[in-house]
Amino acid sequence: MTYIIPDLDIDISQKSREDMLEKLHHIPASKINEKGIFPHGVGIYMCDIPQDRISGLASIDYKHAEEDLGYIKIDFLHNTVYDDFNSRNEIIDSLNKEPNWGLLYKKEIVEKLPHINNYYTLLNQLPLIDSVEKLAMFIAIIRPGKKYLIDDVLKNGWESIIDKIWLKENNGYQYKKSHAIAYALSIIVAMSKFN
Could you report the per-residue pLDDT of 89-145, keeping only the tens digit for each?
A: 988 998 899 999 999 999 999 999 988 999 999 999 999 999 999 999 999 999 988
pLDDT band at 78 (very low <50, low <70, confident <90, very high): low
66 membership: H or E segment, kind and range: helix 62-67
Q: Which residue has the higher pLDDT, 18 or 5?
A: 18
Query: Is the pTM value of this prediction over 0.75?
Result: no
Q: What is the mean pLDDT of residues 46-69?
A: 93
pLDDT grade for 166, boundaries at 50, 70 and 90: very high
Report the 10 Å Cβ neighbour count for 126.
17
Asked whether 120 and 111 are in contact (CB, 8 A), the reply is yes
* Contact indicator for 151, 164 with CB cutoff of 8 Å: no
Complete edge-to-edge strand list for the sheet that includes strand 36-45: 8-12, 74-78, 36-45, 27-33
Taking residues 17-41, what's their average pLDDT? 89
Q: How confident is the model at residue 14 (pLDDT cuts 50, 70, 90)?
A: low
- What gap in Å lies between CA 13 and CA 157, rounded to an integer? 35
Q: What is the mean pLDDT of the chain?
A: 88
Cβ pair 10, 44 in contact under 8 A: no
DSSP lists the bridge partners of residue 51 as 58
Burial class (CB in 10 A: 0-12, 13-18, 19+), 178: exposed
**Whole-angstrom Cα distance, residue 121 to residue 42?**
29
Give the chain's length.
195
Query: In the prediction, which pLDDT does 49 show?
Result: 96
pLDDT at position 120 is 96
